[in-house]
Amino acid sequence: MPTAFRLLSIVLLAAVASVSSASDQVPGAMPKGAVAIVGATIHPVSGPVIQQGVLVFENGKITAVGQEVKVPKSAEVIQAKGKHVYPGLFEPYSRIGLTEISSVRASDDYRESGSLNPNVKAHVSVDPDGEIIPVTRSNGVLLTMTAPAGGLISGQSAVLQLDGWTYEDMTVKPRAGMIVSLDSQQEKERLEEFFDEARRYHQGQQAKSKLLHDARLESMDKVLSGKQPIIIQANRENAITRAVTFANDQQVKLVIFGGYDAPRCRELLKKHDVPVIVSAIHRNPSRRDDPYDAAYTLPKRLQEAGIRFCISGYERSNSWNVRNLPYHAATAVAFGLGKEDAMRAITLSPAEILGVADRVGSLEKEKDATLFICDGDPLEAATQVESAWIGGKPVDLSNKQTMLYDKYQQKYEQLKK
């Protein structure tokens, strides 16, 4: 075997080995009894801030939250005076779990061949042992929507909680949205043909006709019935108008992803109650004559226009730097958005837009105990997340980067001796 070929083989094997290695964190186990966080400043998001409050959860659900809350005698009590409690931050668009190292093809599983793949389900391809997951949740981002890509219909996105042994453990909602591309009039016509075909297929099923089973057409059921939105990336005014027109003609629910020109389409979006997932705050202006802060002020302008929205960091990083989500919201605050509105845009608003607000997004009785304790404002880079729970289970906040930090701290301590 030639020397060059042997070296290439070694490099490839090393890359695959590094990708396939699992993270060291062990998923949390459900506490045997109630857990009570006492004395903290509690930020429910859905209501006013509670000073020196008490939050109790048991069996994965919040059972009480407020100032005058009786702590169960058998509860594990966590004294958190001077600390803050927030619901888990929610990244509403990402590739978490579907990609690990973008330059290593073996670690990417976010795209299928073909152009029409409504039957593709993102959650079944999620790798629970990826190194990106611990890094992400260490900064309070405990929930994501993970989405496939490619083709006219990429497949179905899923809402995930970032802890669990299997993808089933991690899945909050397996069919959060259908990812659709609509970049041209030609694509619009092709999609219209497919939607019509899917509609005829379901009419035939309802009439109990003898039909050959078609997984693609059958997967369109919730979209056609209005139970599952289509999510279309659209930034320019003409693209947003085309997406809304298509959804209105097909009588399906729509979510816009991107939304750079959404304020220019305010009347259209408000009329049809179309929410926007802002694809990033840290991005450049789209036009040469746009103000330098056009992207930074977008959330404030959406709020003033009365358009429902939430904030993502996808356009800056779809996987590794999802942990920086709170700093996108912080930039929106620096450019006019209220701090409480910014926090809502990365917690409760994405939960509402993606249909999981009955479980996550705020600190309320009967909701999942997906929350964290920190020593300050999560929108400030200096704030440290000290403890976290996902569905009531404690989360290991260590990750590969914290382990390397600890390792090299010891190295320099040894060199001093």
Domains in the chain, CATH or no CATH each: 22-88+362-417 (2.30.40.10), 91-360 (3.20.20.140)
pLDDT given for residue 13 in this prediction: 42
DSSP designation for 248: H
The total number of residues written for the chain in this structure: 417
Q: Confidence band (pLDDT; 50, 70, 90) for 345?
A: very high
Residues 6+ away with beta carbon under 8 Å from 176: 145, 156, 157, 158, 159, 228, 354, 355, 356
Q: Quick one: residue 157, left, alpha or beta (phi over 0 = left, psi -120 to 50 = alpha)?
A: beta
pLDDT given for residue 147 in this prediction: 96
**Residue pLDDT, tens place only, 123-166:** 999 999 999 999 999 999 999 999 999 999 999 999 999 999 99
Chain mean pLDDT for the chain: 92
**Residue pLDDT, tens place only, 144-155:** 999 999 999 999
**Residue pLDDT, tens place only, 48-67:** 999 999 999 999 999 999 99
Mean pLDDT over 176-193 rounds to 95
pLDDT given for residue 210 in this prediction: 80
Q: What pTM value is reported for the model?
A: 0.91
Q: Confidence band (pLDDT; 50, 70, 90) for 207?
A: confident
Q: Percent of the chain at pLDDT above 90?
A: 82
CB atoms within 10 A of CB 401: 13
For residue 248, pLDDT beyond 90: yes
Nearest of 394, 333, 339, 272 to residue 43 by alpha carbon: 339
For residue 8, pLDDT beyond 50: no
